[in-house]
């Protein structure tokens, strides 16, 4: 079950162009409770994106990663690599370990599809 956003962490300072308008690609971070687990996210261009590492370690901790990878392939779910600014923000909100050098992101819509698909695989809480 997906719940509404618990709150936002804050707005990442926007990069301004010469007209004083924010450039595309700016984002903000926040937390959302999904399946009873508080996950950090980045709101990028209007889309909530979650750190795949946190999703795997917190949400799907009882399901083998190879099983999740196969489900993602079947559902045609693509993850995207985050850039350095996004990675630093995810570290600041404790969604990825501080030692991480890279991170992949998955959209909320794809995460919902993956949760639905994996519901029968995880033990009842």
Please report the domains of the chain, with CATH numbers, ordered by start residue.
26-113 (3.10.260.20)
Distance (Å, rounded) from C-alpha 5 to C-alpha 14?
22
Nearest to residue 78, comparing CAs of 41, 119, 107, 118?
Answer: 107
Percent of the residues in the chain that have a pLDDT greater than 90, as a whole number:
66
Question: How far, in Å, CA of 3 to CA of 61, rounded?
Answer: 20
The residues pairing with 16 across neighbouring beta strands, listed in sequence order, are 22
pLDDT digits (tens, 9 = 90+) for 43-70: 999 999 999 999 999 999 999 999 999 9
What predicted TM-score, i.e. pTM, was given to this entire model?
A: 0.76
Instruction: Give the integer Cα–Cα distance in Å for 72 and 88.
Output: 26
């Amino acid at each position: 079950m997906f719940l509404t956003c618990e709150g936002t962490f804050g707005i990442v300072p926007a990069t301004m162009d010469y007209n004083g308008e924010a450039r595309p690609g700016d984002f903000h971070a926040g937390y959302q409770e999904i399946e009873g687990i508080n996950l950090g996210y980045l709101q990028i261009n209007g889309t909530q994106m979650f750190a795949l590492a946190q999703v795997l370690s917190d949400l799907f901790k009882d399901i083998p990663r190879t099983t999740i990878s196969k489900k993602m392939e079947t559902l045609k779910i693509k993850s995207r690599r985050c850039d350095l600014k996004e990675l630093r923000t995810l570290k600041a909100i404790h969604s990825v370990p501080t030692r991480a050098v890279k991170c992949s992101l998955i959209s909320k819509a794809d995460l919902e599809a993956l949760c639905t698909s994996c519901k029968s695989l995880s033990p009842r809480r």
